[in-house]
């Protein structure tokens, strides 16, 4: 009898595929979305908080008059140089707890004052 109506099984499987969370393969919903503004003398906010295992979408905007970038070395986030007014979004998922620096660098060294900390719980 099952051979006579294989379309039922295909229909049920197709319907289940529309529920991506059921199988644990859903695209990540970015649990935390934060904007970081880069200025010529500082960045805002100077402290970010995240949770281990929860995705973060970090929108970085250069609001200064010089070129800036943003790096979070502990999580391999290395954003490109941004011209004044440009922005970029980085997405990452912290995999361990702790306090980690983030900053704008030039020549591989943090720019004075343009730094903050990421607290991961």
Rg, C-alpha atoms of the chain: 21
Q: In which residue are the tokens 């008059």 written? A: 65
CB-based contact 55:36 (threshold 8 Å)? no
pLDDT at 24 > cutoff 70? no
pLDDT at 16 > cutoff 80? no
State how far the alpha carbon of 34 is from the alpha carbons of 9, 54, 95, 96, 105, in Å. 44, 13, 18, 19, 20
pLDDT at 82 > cutoff 50? yes
**pTM for the model:** 0.74
pLDDT tier, 5 (very low <50, low <70, confident <90, very high otherwise): low
pLDDT of residue 114: 97
Per-residue model confidence as pLDDT tens digits over 83-115: 999 999 999 999 999 999 999 998 889 999 999
Per-residue model confidence as pLDDT tens digits over 42-53: 999 999 999 999
If 0-12 CB within 10 Å is exposed, 13-18 middle and 19+ buried, where does residue 90 land?
middle
Task: Give all domains of the chain, ordered by start, each with its CATH number.
Answer: 30-120 (2.60.40.420)
């Amino acid at each position: 009898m099952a051979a006579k109506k294989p379309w039922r099984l295909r229909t049920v499987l197709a319907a289940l595929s529309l529920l991506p969370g059921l199988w644990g393969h859903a695209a990540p919903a970015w649990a935390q979305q934060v904007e970081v503004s880069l200025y010529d003398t500082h960045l805002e906010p100077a402290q970010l908080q995240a949770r281990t295992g929860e995705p973060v979408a970090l929108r970085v905007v250069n609001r200064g008059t010089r070129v800036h970038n943003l790096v979070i070395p502990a999580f391999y986030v290395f954003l490109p140089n941004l011209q004044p007014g440009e922005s970029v979004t980085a997405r990452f998922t912290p995999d361990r707890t702790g306090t980690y620096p983030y900053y704008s660098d030039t020549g591989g060294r943090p720019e004075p004052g343009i730094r903050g900390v990421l607290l991961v719980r």
